[in-house]
Structure 1
Amino acid sequence: MTTAKKATLAFKTGETVVYPAHGLGLITAVEQQEVAGFRLQVFVIFFEKDRMTVRVPIAKVASVGMRKIAEPALVEKALVVLTSRARVKRGMWSRRGQEYEAKIKSGDLISVAEVVRDLYRSPEQAEASYSERTLYESALETLLCEFSAVYGITHTEALTLIEQNLAKAPHPVKGTGPEADTNAEDEAAA
């Protein structure tokens, strides 16, 4: 069976899917289109949040990370990730930022939860940089959408659930958040 046929069978019209670049969308149709002389079968996906429609070639479904909404058991695992200690690697922010961005774009719910956990700042911590806040907000929005869809709750209720779990995680009280952990490790190693 070809990849396109498997993808067509995996997703159907009327189904809500996760498309990492845009969030949750509804498959409204499966169409044939001609692009540069080639006939392609595409999923037509509508994203309510952005009031936008995207056409995804069926053959590209796997490479763009499109997937079905997570099962409740996977969402529960993501909640457990949020309660664990933040893991911040040593090194330059630009490299870590790229790693966080790749995790968000992967669409993997556990990876996105790790980004939220690692970039979360408790009220006692110093404010995050602009790029940290941007990545955090992007990952948080992804979790909010999926949690609210899986549990049938509002975004506000999903945010409360996420924040309650983040509050359970051990966080540094002094310093500037993730960098403080890294600096403490650097000083201990010296």
Structure 2
Amino acid sequence: MTKSKKLEFRPNDYVVYPAHGVGQIISIEEQEVAGHKLELFVISFEKDKMTLRVPTHKATESGLRSLSSPDVIGQAMKTLKGKAKVKRAMWSRRAQEYEQKINSGDLISIAEVVRDLHRTDDQREQSYSERQLYEAALERLTREVAAVSGNDELAAAKQVDEVLTSRVAA
């Protein structure tokens, strides 16, 4: 009976778009596309200097969601403390799985990637692609932690780093 559920977002709300991470809705506008009027969320990803327009009726399908609750942030931090789970599969297969987790928009999955790819100074070098995936996941996690806590990204990065280094010390 109901087609796609319309999300209740307003301008200035922070949202998470799976493929790009945390953005801010700057407006809701109407555009005519191929003779049809479309209502669009205009989302700004300031760090990436990018603006995305998502049809409001397709927002749920696209995976657009509100910021995680502090509880979910807590679970993500707990995930970071866990022991890295590295499968014995070939790197190309693992890299694909990591990429999917990062783009799922699910904060716990992103935290798993950060945990699994985190290296301390005395561990073996990371390959270029490993480092790229790690940094992408870390940035997504950090931005959402910052947005939820209301801190800047530097403070959030420090918080995430402390959790990762405390895990190593344990």
Are the aligned partners of 2:14 and 2:147 in contact in 1 as well (CA < 8 Å)? Answer: no
Structure 1 residue 145 displacement after superposition: 0.6
User: Could you report, residue by residue, the CA deviation over 1:147-180 in whole angstroms, capped at 9, with x for unpaired residues?
Assistant: 1111122222211111111123359xxxxxxxxx
Change (3 A) 1:167 1:3: farther
The percent of aligned pairs where both chains have the same amino acid is: 51
Please name the residue that 1:69 is paired with: 67
What's the counterpart of residue 111 of structure 2? 113
Q: Which moved more, 1:134-143 or 1:45-54?
A: 45-54
Instruction: List aligned pairs for 1:24-173, cutoff 5 A.
Output: 24-169=22-167
Does the 8 Å CA contact 2:10/2:25 hold for their aligned counterparts? yes
Is the Cα–Cα contact under 8 Å of residues 19 and 65 in structure 1 kept in the other structure?
A: yes
After superposition, the CA RMSD in angstroms is 1.8
SS of residue matched to 2:6 = helix
Read off the aligned partner of 2:99 and give its amino acid letter: E
Q: Tell me the distance in 1 between the aligned counterparts of 2:52 and 2:2.
A: 23
Q: Distance in 1 between matches of 2:104 and 2:61?
A: 9
Aligned amino acid, residue 44 of structure 1: V
CA distance in 1, matches of 2:3, 2:15: 18
Q: How far has the Cα of 1:3 moved from its partner?
A: 4.3
Counterpart-to-counterpart distance in 2, 1:89 and 1:170: 20
Distance 1:99 1:65 in 2: 18
SS of the residue corresponding to residue 52 of structure 2 reads strand
* Structure-2 residue corresponding to 1:174: none
State how far apart, in whole Å, the 1-side matches of 2:83 and 2:134 are.
16
List runs of 5+ in structure 1 lacking aligned partners. Answer: 172-190
| 1:87 aligned counterpart, secondary structure | coil
